[in-house]
Amino acid sequence: MDGFRFSTEVSVRFAETDAQGVAHNAVYLVWYEVARIDYLARFREGYRGLQADGLEALTIETHVRYVAPARFDERLRIHARCSEIRGARFRYDYAIERAGTAIATGWTRHAVVERKTFRPARFPAWLAEAIAQAEAWKL
Amino acid sequence: MDGFRFSTEVSVRFAETDAQGVAHNAVYLVWYEVARIDYLARFREGYRGLQADGLEALTIETHVRYVAPARFDERLRIHARCSEIRGARFRYDYAIERAGTAIATGWTRHAVVERKTFRPARFPAWLAEAIAQAEAWKL
Amino acid sequence: MDGFRFSTEVSVRFAETDAQGVAHNAVYLVWYEVARIDYLARFREGYRGLQADGLEALTIETHVRYVAPARFDERLRIHARCSEIRGARFRYDYAIERAGTAIATGWTRHAVVERKTFRPARFPAWLAEAIAQAEAWKL
Amino acid sequence: MDGFRFSTEVSVRFAETDAQGVAHNAVYLVWYEVARIDYLARFREGYRGLQADGLEALTIETHVRYVAPARFDERLRIHARCSEIRGARFRYDYAIERAGTAIATGWTRHAVVERKTFRPARFPAWLAEAIAQAEAWKL
């Protein structure tokens, strides 16, 4: 998948299928989240490092395009990249691949907030730098 | 919510919350689906009427904007309207309301397929007419 | 359903079905929880009243017997009763009914804990009394 | 974990947590299922081999004891063993381990049925033999 430097794998769980015999559309957002967590795990303590700073990342927008259905027990590769960080906000792009073919794409937008108040907070510098380097952004 | 002629209610289940103390982002797609099913239930046998015709509706695109978090046990009103039907494809728009305020909006796109082959099939005329009337479309 | 004085209704959501075409086994525990929340809602502020006292109820044991499968869009009645309160612990029994027939039974056990420490805490007297009265227990 | 010859790993997903900050009680049944699928994957085509024979395995009873809560991003090892096969029915036992300690135990019972009719069907001999050997049963 062009432009992605990170990916992680999931298998379609039986509980994730529905009566159409395919993975339910809401599950893709869970897989995107799994990919974000795995993506961040490479930097310090990952998402738990963010929480240790007293922060949470809220999801403020999600988008999924379903190109071909996924079925029980299929092995999927979730490609993810952080494509923008600006103030409190950041964005991820995704492509879900099965055996070399993209079966879904999408993106999500997020806002960093203080854990206790849910007030916007600046994206942590240590994490922004680590991501910029991992994504080879020209800053 | 302007432009909506149909809505249904859900309460935020405890199982739908996450460790941020709010409803998880993937759950909104389940609520959108609940609203579509309730929307269709007014016409013949609803979604099961569609299945009785040998058809299924696949979800091919979803979009959610999360404006304010929803919390456990809150009563939410899901406004839904079918905003387009064209060939095999149709689209729904949504607004989720809590006590008079929109806390999320979104839309989904779908394709009607034959149940056995997953091949595109024309949106049933009986249902298109019922929806056009319910939405007061000028045809 | 014999011995139950309370019940609530759910419809099987499409997202709750699996590729066998029936409601997934894990969903029954969500329905049991929905029934407990609705059961408690009759007393003061229900579960949120318990939380307002600085308490949470943890689930420490669950049991489900699946007698007949449930399918998409079926309307189910969840019968629930609190069958024991002792110290920090309490138990619920359940029967899930479809059109007069029990399609599942089960029970769950819970422990009241302090919200911040997860340490055992006494079941609140105000709620124990309200439940004893609702269940017509001989104390 | 004594008496288990098979185990598989899961990480607690953020979507699997609830507003108590712990993994939701219903999720354990999903993890048990993941373990069963991975357990069977060692034999021919696993569960899909069973489906290829025109069979499905229904879940007819589940039981979970929750000893200590699981939290976001924790790595858990699910120990599973098939403990009985008799006619159409079989049983699995489980222990969920975190860093050497059992945080949950449980068991599930299942019935093999014909995929199309949901009528009871004999547990396939090829799979019973493979399991008996893997579990070192004395037959």
Query: pLDDT tens, A9-44?
Result: 999 999 999 999 999 999 999 999 999 999 999 998
| Single-letter code of the amino acid located at A48 | R
Name the minimum distance, in Å, from the CA of C77 to any CA of chain D: 19
Size of chain A, expressed as the number of residues it contains: 139
Residues of chain D in contact with residue B14, where contact means CB-CB under 8 angstroms, are 18-19, 24
d(CA C73, CA B71) in angstroms, rounded, equals 25
Q: Which of B11, B13, B18, B72 to mutate to test the interface with D (most CBs of D within 10 A)?
A: B18
Q: In a 3-state reduction of DSSP, which class is residue B2?
A: coil
Region B118-133: mean pLDDT is 96
Residues with Cβ within 8 Å of C107's Cβ and at least 6 positions away in sequence, in order, are C62, C63, C83, C91, C92, C93, C94
d(CA C33, CA B73) in angstroms, rounded, equals 12
Asked if residue C125 lies in contact with residue C87, where contact means CB atoms within 8 angstroms, the answer is no
Q: Kindly report the pTM of this predicted structure.
A: 0.98
Q: In what order do the strands lie in the sheet with D101-114?
A: C7-11, C75-86, C89-98, C101-114, C55-66, D55-66, D101-114, D89-98, D75-86, D7-11
Which listed CATH number (3.10.129.10, 3.40.50.300, 3.20.20.70, 3.30.70.2860) goes with D7-134?
A: 3.10.129.10
Asked if residue B78 lies in contact with residue B9, where contact means CB atoms within 8 angstroms, the answer is yes
d(CA D55, CA D117) in angstroms, rounded, equals 10
Rg of chain B on CA atoms, in Å: 16
Residues of chain D in contact with residue A72, where contact means CB-CB under 8 angstroms, are 48
User: Mind listing the pLDDT tens digit for each residue in B34-50?
Assistant: 999 999 999 988 999 99
Distance of CA A2 to the CA centre of its chain: 16
What rounded mean pLDDT belongs to chain C?
96
Using left for φ > 0, alpha for ψ between -120 and 50, and beta otherwise, residue C55 falls in beta
Confidence of residue C138 (pLDDT cuts 50, 70, 90): confident
| Cβ of residue C91 closer than 8 Å to a chain D Cβ | no
The CATH superfamily holding the domain B7-124 is Hotdog Thioesterase (3.10.129.10)
Closest residue on chain D to C105 (Cα): D61
- Flag whether pLDDT at C139 surpasses 80: no
User: Mind listing the pLDDT tens digit for each residue in C10-61?
Assistant: 999 999 999 999 999 999 999 999 999 999 999 988 999 999 999 999 999 9
The residue whose two tokens read 């060939």 is B87
The pLDDT profile of chain A, 139 residues, written as one tens digit per residue, is 889 999 999 999 999 999 999 999 999 999 999 999 999 999 988 999 999 999 999 999 999 999 999 999 999 999 999 999 999 999 999 999 999 999 999 999 999 999 999 999 999 999 999 999 999 997 6
Asked if residue A105 lies in contact with residue A94, where contact means CB atoms within 8 angstroms, the answer is yes
Q: What is the dotted CATH code of the domain comprising A7-135?
A: 3.10.129.10
- Flag whether pLDDT at D67 surpasses 90: yes
d(CA A72, CA A68) in angstroms, rounded, equals 14
Q: Which long-range contacts (CB under 8 A, 24 or more apart) does A42-48 make?
A: A42/A6, A42/A130, A42/A134, A43/A126, A43/A127, A43/A130, A43/A131, A43/A134, A44/A126, A44/A127, A44/A130, A46/D73, A47/D14, A47/D73, A48/D72, A48/D73
Confidence of residue D73 (pLDDT cuts 50, 70, 90): very high
d(CA C114, CA C120) in angstroms, rounded, equals 6
Cβ pair C73:B46 closer than 8 A:
yes
Q: Is the dihedral of CA B7, B9, B14, B20 positive or negative?
A: positive
Residues with Cβ within 8 Å of B72's Cβ and at least 6 positions away in sequence, in order, are B12, B13, B14, B17, B21, C48, D19
Give the Cβ contact number of residue C11 at 10 Å: 15
ipTM exceeding the 0.95 mark: yes
